[in-house]
Amino acid sequence: DAGVTQSPTHLIKTRGQQVTLRCSPISGHKSVSWYQQVLGQGPQFIFQYYEKEERGRGNFPDRFSARQFPNYSSELNVNALLLGDSALYLCASSLKGNPYEQYFGPGTRLTVT
């Protein structure tokens, strides 16, 4: 079975631009969570979606938004990019609407110049 997949693998954007990151969960998983991992730090929670509804939101500005589609895949959007948004963005999926058994994808490395 395929694991969590994320696209693209790497991305370079300029300050002020907008970016969309994509995630496909493990087949049968209905919950998707997004995390930001800045170099040298642990991942920070951004959003959790379950059955297409937002179930949790971390301490991130409104420039960050997400959505989940009927097939349970998800997109993370970041507007008005700042240099500080440069990070590894991780997607995780789980079977139930809770984080206890989360399976992580390889991440998307975003560089903002």
Site stretch for other proteins (CB under 8 A), options 9-17, 20-28, 52-60, 64-72: 52-60
Site stretch for other proteins (CB under 8 A), options 8-16, 21-29, 61-69, 96-104: 96-104
Closest C-alpha to 93, from 9, 5, 21: 5
Among 13, 52, 55, 109, binds other proteins (CB under 8 A): 55
Among 11, 65, 104, 109, binds other proteins (CB under 8 A): 104
* 14 contacts other proteins (rule: CB under 8 A): no
- Considering only residues 18 to 37 of the shown chain, the ones binding other proteins according to CB under 8 A are 33, 35
Burial class of residue 14 (count of CB atoms within 10 Å of its CB; 0-12, 13-18, 19+): exposed
Question: How far is residue 30's CA from residue 50's CA, in Å, rounded to a whole number?
Answer: 6
Neighbouring residues of 80: CB distance < 8 A, sequence distance ≥ 6: 16, 18, 63
Peptide bond into 8 cis (omega under 30): yes
Interacting residue ranges for other proteins, rule: CB under 8 A: 33, 35, 41-45, 48, 55-56, 58, 90, 92, 98-107
